[in-house]
Chain A
Amino acid sequence: MSIFIDRNTKLLVQGITGRDGSFHAKQMIEYGTCVVAGVTPGKGGQRFEGAVPVFDTVADAVQATGANTTVIYVPPPFAADAMMEAADAGIALIICITEGVPVLDMTRVYPYVQDRKARLIGPNCPGLITPGASKVGIIPGRICAPGSVGVVSRSGTLTYEVVYQLTRAGIGQSTCVGIGGDPINGTNFIDCLTQFEADPETKAVAMMGEIGGTDEQEAARFVREHMTKPVVGFIAGQTAPPGRRMGHAGAIISGSSGTAAEKLDAFREAGMGIAQRPVEFVPLLRERM
């Protein structure tokens, strides 16, 4: 078992003929993900790598292939439209990898996607992977191994770092989800924790947050009130100065709110394990499983 994606995932790749889209489409196919279609307006009728049919619109692709999940690699000015097009075509799970989507665009995309009952992950995220079954996005497959730790994170390479350490220590993962580093994103920590709690395969959760906003504090409250499975948390940005955007658009301390200290306090109150350093995830998870 897993969350969000599994062997039944029929994936559409929006922007499949672009530089990033084509590179990662190949990687996903190699990993064993069932890539059923691609979309690039104006390139309908072509075949990607001689096999995957390319369509002009998402609606055409869904009708012809029954795609139920999409991953978006289109440039930032077009990403909002691509997300809305996917939701309108009835795609249930939309993963947007694109970094640099204007936040005012996201204020429009979010209610649009919600009204159409679709789930959005991202934007500005590495996607997700259910090791051994399906990979959607850009998380390197070879650093993961099947197992029972659920991983959810706001960052990319930091997630890879921790996942790789888990894998080398013999701790596999049920699903790893990167929810992205933007201030407005589709799926938050609580959505992922809810799914991990319900997933019989997942025995514990590793959660990596950052400075900025209150998502981690709300997630900690959820852990205290609703989770029976152990959760170990980490917060990046303890040394970040206030008012500066630390790479990720969402990683910014505004005034006195969104600091690492307040997030770690919330973790502590929720009885979560706290990894002071990335390397502490392995022993903390081991103790709790």
Chain B
Amino acid sequence: MNIHEYQAKDIFRRCGIPVPPGEVATTPEDAERIARTFGTRVVVKAQVHAGGRGKAGGVMLANTPADARTMAQQIFGLQIKGLTVTKVLVTPAADIASEAYAGVIVDRASKRAVFMVSPAGGIDIEEVAATMPEKILRLPVDPRYGLLPFEASRMGFFLYTDAKHARAAAKILRQLWQAFLSSGASLAEINPLVVTTGDDVLALDAKMVIDDNELERRPEIAALRDESAENASEVAARKASLTFIKLDGNVGCVVNGAGLAMATMDLVKYYGGEPANFLDIGGSSNPEKVVHALRIITRDRNVKAILFNIFGGITRTDDVANGIVAATREHPLSVPIVIRLTGTNEEIAVQILQQNGFTALIDMDEAVQKAVRLATGGKAA
């Protein structure tokens, strides 16, 4: 789960990390009012779950409260990577002497949380890794001991030659580790970590990604979810316990299992089509889930054909067939549907489908080709 910069800064603040003050505005008038309370130049920053906010025009410097209002107005009209901006963070502008990078991420190769720090901050860390790898220090944390003070200190002195700055950074890194652990994060990042002209070390930006598997045991973190900042279909899918990711194509896919769902999307592409989504109905047998899945997929106007691909292992294919019948009885489909199912109770499933006017295929490639043909009006495959 992504959280906003202002939410991550709240978590940082609670862990003692020095963060500039700031307040969230949802209207241009709000932004002006907040800017006035600070009485200095402010930065107006789009709060949206997408990287590259600056490049997209979502971060602007305002000299006066009236400027803050105008700029907020402009930012509220923006679409950044398909997401509409509904909140901005208004924060006093800092006078920056230098910018660095500090982050901690779960690294699958070392199977540990790994810190990464670099004196080259303010830019994409992947770019630094590619062009100046010597400017990055990686430090895997032994989960048995956590981040040790000397390790934090080593990173501090890698970042800064000035001992005062190095010590301040070391302290921030230890606090960042606490923020990371106590929120169940898979990533916590300060980019940039700055030294101001007033000689303070500050986290000017904050980014955190929370491991979805942590949310059940951390209700206070789960409560930070901002559904208005997410795709509406994806929100509906999550409420129905489905895994759904919206894509740009026109073949709607309903599959059981993540690996098979990806393989099905790939096959759609292989036969010249474009998948409209990733959708995994999971391993359990539940006609209700199928009903929800169909409702979410048919809401997408781009979808020109629907493809079911079900392998019945634990999932009973007759349950899926019943779900299809129930859903289409409730809301008749306006686009063609291709159903492929095989495995547990396949004979019963085929019978249910046939009695209700559907045909069922057992071959995956044949089904995908048919769906692509229907979606493209016979132009592909």
Chain A positions within 8 Å of B, measured between CB atoms, are 76-77, 100-104, 106-108, 110-111, 126, 138-140, 143, 153-161, 164, 181, 183-184, 208, 210-214, 234, 236-241, 244-251, 255-256, 260, 276-279
Contacts and interface: CB of A to CB of B under 8 A. Distances in A.
A240 B270 contact: no
B315 to A, nearest CB: 8
A155 B257 contact: yes
B143 interface: yes
Contacts of B211: 102-104, 249
A176 to B, nearest CB: 12
A22 to B, nearest CB: 14
Nearest to B243: A247
Contacts of B39: none
Contacts of B224: none
30 contacts: A100-B216, A103-B213, A106-B111, A107-B112, A111-B111, A139-B313, A140-B344, A156-B313, A157-B257, A158-B259, A158-B262, A160-B313, A164-B311, A181-B259, A183-B108, A211-B262, A214-B108, A214-B109, A239-B247, A239-B262, A239-B266, A239-B268, A240-B262, A240-B278, A241-B247, A247-B257, A247-B258, A247-B280, A256-B126, A277-B270
Contact of B261 (A143, A184, A247): A247
A250 B261 CA distance: 15
Contact of A213 (B108, B113, B213, B265): B108
B181 interface: yes
B161 to A, nearest CB: 30
B259 A154 contact: yes
Contact of A246 (B184, B217, B262): B262
Pick the most buried of A104, A183, A278: most chain B CB atoms within 10 A of its CB: A104
Given A102-B211, A104-B214, A248 B143 contact: no
A219 to B, nearest CB: 13
Contacts of A251: 258-259, 262
Contacts of B263: 158, 161, 234, 236, 278
The residue among B106, B144, B259, B278 with the most chain A CB atoms within 10 A of its own CB is: B259
Nearest to A140: B313
Interface string B179-204: 00100101000000000000000000
A89 B186 CA distance: 30
Interface string B272-291: 00010010100100000000
B266 A238 contact: yes
B342 interface: yes
Nearest to B106: A103
Interface string B246-273: 0100000001111111110111111000
A12 B266 CA distance: 39
Nearest to A212: B108
A143 B213 contact: no
B365 interface: yes
A276 B216 CA distance: 38
Contact of A183 (B106, B142, B257, B259): B106
B95 interface: no
